[in-house]
Amino acid sequence: MISILFLAADPADASRLRLGEEFREIQEKLKLARLREHFKLELPQLSVRPADISQALLDVQPQIVHFSGHGASLGALCFENPAGKIHLVQPGALAALFEQFANQVNCVLLNACYSETQAKAIAEHIEYVIGMNQAVDDKAAIAFAIGFYQALGAGRTIEESYKLGCVQIRLQGIAEHLTPILLKGKRASVSPVLTSSIAQDKSINVLQLPPRQYREFIGRQIQLDDIENALNDTLGRWIIGIDGIGGIGKTALAREITERLLAKKSFEKVVWEQSHRDITMTKSSRGLTYDGVLDAISYQLEAFDLLQIKGKEKEARVKNLLRKYKTLVVLDNLETAQDAQNAIVNRLASILSFSKALLTSRHRFSGDVFSVHLTGLVEEDAIDLIHREAKNKNVSQVENADTNELRQLVISSSGSPLALKLVVGQLGHLPLKIVLEQLSLIHIPEDGAEEDDYVSFYKGIFMPSWKLLPENSQSLLVSMANFPAGIGGTFESLKEISGLSNSILIRSIDELWRLSLLEVEKSLSLNNIRYYLHVLTQNFILSDIVRA
């Protein structure tokens, strides 16, 4: 994980800057970035005083430090004194500070007027430093930050990100694209593709499996065995496709089979790439492309030099890579891909060589694909899931329900694991009879039904849960829809975006979790726990029904 520390100072006796807007733009661009899982933008340090800088460096341990504020014509940077007025810090002092963090910080961006002098001093100790060679307009500074972090989040080098930042200034029609300057320090990496803070960061887990949305994997034994046998078949079946409606468990099944194959060392490498089409995104940001698949394979197999190659040459070299390493390529949520699903499948088949591919989609696969069509859990497994979920959420009335009542829950929810979890959450607040009555009003889509039928079905499942929420919890849920589905944010980011106090936020998180409207991504570190929404939950929250 690459940590970015945002420092800002806007003394009361200096002209006002739009520092909050700059931070929001950086936050938004990283949130939408293809490699967003590898970056952590820390909460901004505002009104920074000199002593705050060293404390922040010690506490956050960032790889990238971004300063936004004022600079003096002779090269000093303007921080704040205890009265909120200008306190000048000279280049030598700041350089001496960064010398103490030279083994930690890889890049410093000084988005302030006349900061070239500071940049030259800091570059004696830090790999990459960006400064401004004259006064810089507020709009130009923000435009540069947008371009820089867009590129960085796409896996570009520091040098390329710098160039794209300058281009972004030109695109905004501002004649200051020559103002930012990039200095390569004495310790700069010779890596031609990514900065050492990204490419050589061994703390990055290249294999990014999606968060486990279940405590135990229940059922699907036949499908597990069939898929494993197909993936181990050396004579054919190079592409395996799992299709089914949203919430039916495609990603969970793909994740479970991947973990099983990793444990058995059936493959040397695994590449996992999820296609995202967040309905809050612009069209240009949406969905996976075939070129994106090639980039994902190159990046996750650490062939960073391939990221800069295009066309047939890149395709040929990725093919060689997949011949060199027996790799399982997992592409999840292909129904959201920008390129046509079948086009990606056909082109992928031509480069797999000795490797295999496991794909998931809400749409059926065609062509030379070993297809597994996923439907609801069988009754026995569905009832098992209900009991386990009820025990986990401490919903006692499930224990008193008879088999016929539970069977009706399974039938009314179409055996969908997501729907069953939502129903169990409702049983923590409502009598079983009421829940069954509400379910009876929902039309159960038949296999092969239109997408609108499934949307209507899930809205009917979600709405009772939404109505059970108090106002603060509804507000938090709406706020969380601003995060990418399946990724979400930390406790601190939820607090910032919702505006709720600690006590209310803790209570709201618990209420959402018990209703299965919020998922918790487990982490080895308690400081890195993330809270996120299932994509169907996000779609429901952003629907016209909730907005009304």
CATH number at residue 383: 1.10.10
Phi, psi of 378 (to 5 degrees): -65, 160
| 127-162 residues labelled b (16+ CB within 10 A) or e (exposed) | bbbbbbeeebebebbbbbbbbbbbbbbbbbbbebbb
**Same-domain pairing of 176 and 294:** no
Phi, psi of 128 (to 5 degrees): -130, 130
Query: Shortest CA distance to 357 belongs to which of 330, 333, 390, 379?
Result: 330
Q: Which residue has the higher pLDDT, 432 or 14?
A: 432
- Whether residue 342 lies inside any domain: the answer is yes
**What is the structure's pLDDT at 365?**
94
Q: Which residue has the higher pLDDT, 509 or 542?
A: 509
Q: Which residue has the higher pLDDT, 186 or 207?
A: 186
- Whether residue 211 lies inside any domain: the answer is no
Instruction: List residues bridging with 521 in a β-sheet.
Output: 530
**Same-domain pairing of 472 and 429:** yes
Alpha-carbon distance of 487 to 533, in angstroms, equals 8
- Whether residue 77 lies inside any domain: the answer is yes
**What is the structure's pLDDT at 279?**
41
Which string of DSSP letters, residue by residue, matches 278-314? -TTS-GGG-S--HHHHHHHHHHHTT-GGGGG--HHHH
Domain extent for 410: 379-547
Residue type, 273: E
Last residue in a domain, options 199, 229, 263: 199
**Same-domain pairing of 426 and 348:** no
**Same-domain pairing of 451 and 487:** yes
Residue 435 · residue 442 · CB < 8 Å: no
In 218-268, which ranges are continuous DSSP H helix? 221-232, 250-263
* Total domains, the chain: 3
- Whether residue 214 lies inside any domain: the answer is no
- Whether residue 225 lies inside any domain: the answer is yes
Task: Provide the token pair at 313.
Answer: 């040459």
The residue with tokens 């098992």 is 384
**Same-domain pairing of 267 and 365:** yes
Residue 271 · residue 306 · CB < 8 Å: no
Q: What pLDDT, in 10s, does the model give residues 98-108?
A: 999 988 899 99
**Same-domain pairing of 34 and 107:** yes
The answer to whether residue 18 scores a pLDDT higher than 80 is no
Q: What pLDDT, in 10s, does the model give residues 269-319?
A: 999 988 765 443 333 345 688 988 998 888 788 787 787 788 899 999 999
Query: Shortest CA distance to 33 belongs to which of 295, 239, 238, 249?
Result: 295
296-301: long-range contacts (C-beta < 8 A, 24 or more apart)? 296/271, 297/271, 297/321, 297/322, 297/327, 297/329, 299/35, 299/155, 299/206, 300/206, 300/207, 300/208, 300/269, 300/271, 300/272, 300/273, 301/206, 301/269, 301/271, 301/325, 301/327
**What is the structure's pLDDT at 449?**
58
Find the CATH number of the domain harbouring 317: 3.40.50.300
The answer to whether residue 224 scores a pLDDT higher than 90 is yes
**Same-domain pairing of 195 and 285:** no
**Same-domain pairing of 368 and 383:** no
**What is the structure's pLDDT at 317?**
94
- Whether residue 397 lies inside any domain: the answer is yes
Distances (CA, A) of 357 to 230, 260, 316, 333, 375: 11, 15, 17, 14, 21
Last residue in a domain, options 164, 199, 234: 199
Alpha-carbon distance of 47 to 265, in angstroms, equals 52
Given phi > 0 = left and psi -120 to 50 = alpha, else beta, which region is 198?
Answer: alpha
**Same-domain pairing of 158 and 44:** yes
The pTM of the whole model exceeds 0.85: no
**Same-domain pairing of 368 and 449:** no
**Same-domain pairing of 367 and 394:** no
- Whether residue 321 lies inside any domain: the answer is yes
First to last CA, the chain: 39
**Same-domain pairing of 225 and 267:** yes
Distant-in-sequence, close-in-space partners of 45: CB < 8 Å, separation ≥ 6: 5, 6, 7, 8, 52, 56
Last residue in a domain, options 337, 357, 373: 373
Residue 227 · residue 347 · CB < 8 Å: no
- Whether residue 250 lies inside any domain: the answer is yes
The answer to whether residue 205 scores a pLDDT higher than 50 is no
**What is the structure's pLDDT at 528?**
60
SS3 537: helix
SS3 473: helix
**What is the structure's pLDDT at 488?**
79
Residue 461 · residue 419 · CB < 8 Å: yes
Q: Which uninterrupted H or E stretch holds 532?
A: strand 530-532
The answer to whether residue 464 scores a pLDDT higher than 50 is yes
Distances (CA, A) of 356 to 88, 196, 228, 348, 353: 59, 31, 11, 10, 8
